[in-house]
């Protein structure tokens, strides 16, 4: 992912001042004092990195705008050896099938790795910078905490109890350039072996670094930076952690039938065995090119929604899946994708325009081929709270939630730039 930052000398000084006063005890977002700031971030990857809600009373902007992984090549996936990991006490560590295995002997702290250039990172941490640490983990029995041990502030922690590999994400504000570390914490005890893999550490370059400052926020789509293609407001509080509302599709699982799914282009629908959970949806080409189906859920115009589905190839593997938003660009997989012989989960985010929007599942097939493709456990849910990389938008500095202005042709599913200034 390529990012481009543009700033003046005054902006750089103001940004340094901002980072200097961040308070990790309150998630690291302080107020900006003095000076002026102007930062432009251009994302050349297009849809997928930005998330936005335009609904009054629940307006926010953010997403996962991340730098490149800071772990050295091989260190996050344990290509060979245990790298800079160190066992605490008499505990043991080992590389087992390119995963890090930590075995308890006498220390609940397990093992640790200092987050620094001289260990397994490509650079030291930047004090005051927000980071995202993601990893996979599982434990043979019992439980163990995985901790980002900060020199100052509250340590982000997650408890691992699963016996098969699962993914986890922690966010933290760096409190020291070289002494913050990742380690095990409470709960790790006799007879327990925890395994770690796929470690990724990325700096967050989202608007959330300006949370609480009242900074002016301008978000524009690819049509340009004129008022018609932009939305403006002021930075409020940071997102508290992404949460989703209830399922809006009436029949997301296809366990008994395909009721609620409308066949088009001569699609033949059936609920068949072999799904991710119980039955799945089979789409068969029945007389036209590219048969598809859709199901609608009651939605709120201007709100952000998460849409997802599991896909698997049948006698055809090419598909498309997207949210039909009536007016805005349709978020999702609008170009041909390839399913595999195993179930794969895909999901995407986007703002809806109307009060009844649809999830579309399409098989890319040739007329007369009678080919099949499978889907299961579809989902359409409202994002009720944004993730920590987001900032709430206010109509005035410190005022009520809502955008100050939304351009007449602004497309929230086609964001290309944002500017933050104070």
pLDDT digits (tens, 9 = 90+) for 293-322: 999 999 999 999 999 999 999 999 999 999
59 contact partners, CB below 8 Å, separation of at least 6: 53, 233, 392, 393, 394, 401, 402, 403
CATH T-level assignment (fold) for domain 86-203:
Jelly Rolls (2.60.120)
**pLDDT, average across residues 198-213:** 86
**pLDDT, average across residues 371-375:** 97
Rounded Cα–Cα distance for residues 183 and 60 (Å):
34
131-186 per-position pLDDT tens digit:
889 999 999 999 999 999 999 988 999 999 999 998 898 888 899 999 999 999 88
Which pLDDT does position 23 carry in this prediction?
30
**pLDDT, average across residues 336-347:** 92
Which pLDDT does position 356 carry in this prediction?
87
pLDDT bracket for residue 50 (50, 70, 90): confident
pLDDT bracket for residue 49 (50, 70, 90): low
**pLDDT, average across residues 353-370:** 92
Which pLDDT does position 1 carry in this prediction?
23
Please identify which residue in the block is written with the tokens 């997650």. 158
Rounded Cα–Cα distance for residues 368 and 289 (Å):
8
Long-range contacts of 19-25 (CB under 8 A, 24+ apart): 19/126, 19/127, 19/128, 19/129, 19/209, 20/128, 22/128, 22/173, 24/150, 24/152, 24/153, 24/154, 24/172, 24/173, 24/175, 25/153, 25/154
Residue 31 has pLDDT above 90, yes or no: no
Whether CATH 2.60.120.260 fits 244-385: yes
Residue 235 has pLDDT above 80, yes or no: yes
Please identify which residue in the block is written with the tokens 């410190």. 398
Which pLDDT does position 64 carry in this prediction?
66
37-46, 67-76, 260-269: which range is least confident on average? 37-46
**pLDDT, average across residues 381-387:** 92
Higher pLDDT: 388 or 6? It is 388
Rounded Cα–Cα distance for residues 189 and 182 (Å):
18
Which pLDDT does position 54 carry in this prediction?
96
Question: Which residues make up the CATH 2.60.120.260 domain(s) of the chain?
Answer: 86-203, 244-385
Residue 65 has pLDDT above 90, yes or no: no
């Amino acid at each position: 992912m390529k990012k481009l930052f543009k700033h003046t000398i005054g902006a750089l000084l103001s940004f340094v001042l901002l980072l200097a006063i961040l308070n990790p005890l309150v998630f690291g977002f302080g107020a900006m004092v003095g000076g002026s700031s102007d930062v432009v971030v251009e994302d050349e990857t297009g849809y997928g990195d930005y998330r936005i809600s335009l609904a009054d009373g629940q307006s926010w902007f953010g997403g996962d705008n991340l730098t490149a992984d800071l772990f050295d090549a091989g260190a996050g996936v344990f290509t060979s050896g245990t790298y800079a990991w160190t066992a605490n006490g008499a505990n043991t560590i080992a590389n087992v099938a390119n995963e890090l295995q930590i075995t308890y002997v006498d220390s609940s702290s397990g093992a640790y790795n200092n987050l620094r250039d001289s260990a397994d990172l490509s650079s030291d941490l930047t004090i005051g910078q927000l980071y995202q640490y993601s990893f996979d983990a599982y434990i043979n029995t019992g439980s163990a905490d995985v901790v980002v041990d900060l020199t100052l502030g509250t340590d982000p922690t997650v408890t691992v109890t699963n016996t098969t590999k699962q993914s986890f994400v922690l966010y933290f504000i760096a409190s020291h350039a070289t002494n913050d570390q990742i380690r095990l914490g409470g709960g790790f005890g006799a007879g327990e072996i925890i395994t770690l893999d796929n470690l990724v550490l990325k700096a967050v370059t989202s608007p959330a670094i300006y949370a609480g400052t009242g900074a002016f926020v301008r978000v524009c789509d690819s049509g340009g930076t004129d008022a018609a293609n932009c939305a403006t407001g002021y930075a409020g509080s940071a997102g508290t952690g992404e949460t989703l509302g209830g399922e809006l599709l009436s029949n997301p699982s296809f366990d008994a039938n395909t009721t609620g799914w409308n066949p088009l282009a001569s699609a033949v629908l059936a609920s068949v065995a072999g799904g991710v959970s119980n039955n799945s949806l089979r789409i068969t080409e029945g007389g036209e090119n590219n048969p598809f189906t859709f199901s609608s859920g009651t939605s709120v115009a201007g709100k952000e929604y998460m849409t997802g589905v599991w896909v698997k190839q049948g006698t055809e593997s090419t598909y498309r899946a997207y949210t039909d938003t009536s007016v805005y660009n349709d978020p999702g997989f609008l170009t041909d994708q390839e399913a595999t012989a195993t179930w794969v989960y895909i999901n995407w985010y986007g703002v809806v325009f109307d009060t009844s929007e649809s999830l579309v599942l399409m098989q890319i097939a040739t007329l007369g081929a009678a080919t099949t493709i499978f889907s299961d456990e579809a989902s359409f849910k409202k994002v009720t709270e944004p993730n920590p990389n987001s900032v709430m938008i206010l109509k005035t500095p410190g005022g009520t939630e809502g955008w100050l202005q939304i351009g007449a042709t602004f497309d929230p599913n086609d964001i290309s730039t944002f500017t933050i200034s104070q």
